[in-house]
Structure 1
Amino acid sequence: MPDAKAAPTLAPVATKYKKYALPVAVAILVIFHAVGFWGLLFSGRPEYFQRLTPMNLLLTNTLLLAFHRRWSTTFILFAAVVFSVGFFSEVVGVHTGLLFGDYAYGAALGFKIWSVPVLIGLNWLMLVYSAGHISNLTRLPWPAKAILGALLMVLLDYFIEPVAMAFDFWSWQGGHIPLSNYVGWFVVALGLQVYFQRAAIAKENRLAPYIYLVQLLFFVGILSLL
């Protein structure tokens, strides 16, 4: 028969090690992105590390969602809507040139449906969620927070775009990133940020700001050395 005293003793142990969860998660993020940084720029085999991009994206999102508090039907619906809107915005963009401009995805982001990598929806969810959490650190009214979140997403995309072209994530017609890309990004991002602000979901993810910062430093660092 289990010792009745064993269960209560687990609580102090869990509390003791819980404080290490955030530093460990941040360390994992930094290590994986540092390996990717070295691999893309200095390994001599960038194509190998390009193929690891989906795994890195899945790991980052797993860590991010592991820190989400109070899972609920509302949050699952939020995640599904953001994933779907992000994915289908890209489908429309790739096939019509509307929203963002004329571009096409390469092979680096993995399996595609309708010429768009499935994981791009997960990338939209990660960016909306992390940028939204950063904007919530301010005391601005919610409309201003939504605008700030959208601007943070566009800022990150500004540094992602040239890196993405260099490593076969996607390519732009004529090799030039059009202004319409950033306008389209802001419009879609703003709509999703408004949804984030108004949705009745927990907005206290401690890891979210670190994920945005690691992503920003990763792409700024690579771009500065290209």
Structure 2
Amino acid sequence: MPISSYKLLMMLDPKNTRHQKIALISIIIIHFFGIIGLVFTPTRPYFEAATPFSLILTSLLLFAFHQDWNIAFILFALVTYILGFMIELVGVQTEFIFGSYTYGITLGTKLWDVPLIIGLNWLLLSYASGSVVRNLSRNIFFNSLAGSVIMVLLDVLIEPVAVRLDFWQWKEGKIPLQNFVGWFVTAFFLQLLFHRLKFDKKNLLAKYVLSVQALFFIILQIAI
């Protein structure tokens, strides 16, 4: 990302409603052009290659509206990224957690057959889902359960599109129930971590990020 774009993101005020609208419009534009580019066959390879950058930019916009950059939050972010990557690494190498699958080229640079960007995906979804359900109750187990359900529902939307766009491929082309069980267990642990650590969990952009991503994958399921 150009330095000027990074500086612009750092200038966003999490409490400024105008800045929130700018960030939301930016996320909508990113996903809108992503849909257009992925739907048409001639442009699809270029937009597939841009997928990691789209995820990075969406994450930067989301976290630009996080309001409490304390040690607990940084710990959550680091642990979630690393654990998300390691879970996928174990999953790919052993087929034990999610089933038998391999990653394609769309998600970019890999380490031990796992895209480096996948840890960021776990962080984005865990943080946004946790932020959305943070005030459902005072019981962190209930909130963690609710956040995990949201993450699994998103995975249900993502899976068919991911296979078509070569994010990853399943053995014999079938998405196993084991995948969703593995997703739920992993998501629940990360949600517990999110809700237990002490940092301000309010992010007004979180619900919009999840909504736009859900709509993005629903449209692509229909269109490609």
TM-score by length of 1: 0.90
* 1:130-145 alignment runs, 5 A limit: 130-139=128-137, 141-145=139-143
The residue that corresponds to 2:97 in the other structure is 99
> Which 10-residue stretch deviates more, 140-149 or 194-203?
140-149
* 1:31-70 alignment runs, 5 A limit: 31-42=29-40, 44-70=42-68
Distance 1:132 1:191 in 2: 12
Compute the RMSD of aligned alpha carbons: 1.5
Q: Which has the larger radius of gyration?
A: 1
Distance 2:191 2:16 in 1: 30
Per the TM alignment, residue 202 of structure 1 is displaced from its structure 2 partner at its CA by 1.1
Per the TM alignment, residue 140 of structure 1 is displaced from its structure 2 partner at its CA by 5.7
**SS where residue 20 of structure 1 aligns?**
helix
Per the TM alignment, residue 200 of structure 1 is displaced from its structure 2 partner at its CA by 0.6
The residue that corresponds to 1:7 in the other structure is none
Structure 2: state its 5+ residue gaps: 1-11
The residue that corresponds to 2:84 in the other structure is 86
The correspondence for 1:177, drawn from 175, 182, 201, is 175
The residue that corresponds to 2:126 in the other structure is 128
Can you list the C-alpha shifts for 1:174-226, whole angstroms capped at 9, x where unaligned? Answer: 00000000000000000110111111111011111111111111001111223
Per the TM alignment, residue 43 of structure 1 is displaced from its structure 2 partner at its CA by 5.5
Identity, in percent, stands at 44
Structure 1: state its 5+ residue gaps: 1-13
The residue that corresponds to 1:77 in the other structure is 75
Per the TM alignment, residue 138 of structure 1 is displaced from its structure 2 partner at its CA by 2.2
One-letter code aligned to 1:27 = I
One-letter code aligned to 2:77 = A
The residue that corresponds to 1:5 in the other structure is none
TM-score by length of 2: 0.91
Per the TM alignment, residue 30 of structure 1 is displaced from its structure 2 partner at its CA by 0.3
The correspondence for 1:117, drawn from 90, 115, 128, is 115
Q: Count residues with an aligned counterpart.
A: 212
Distance 1:73 1:133 in 2: 18
Distance 2:16 2:44 in 1: 37
Distance 1:66 1:82 in 2: 18
**SS where residue 104 of structure 1 aligns?**
strand
Distance 2:89 2:141 in 1: 28
Per the TM alignment, residue 141 of structure 1 is displaced from its structure 2 partner at its CA by 2.4
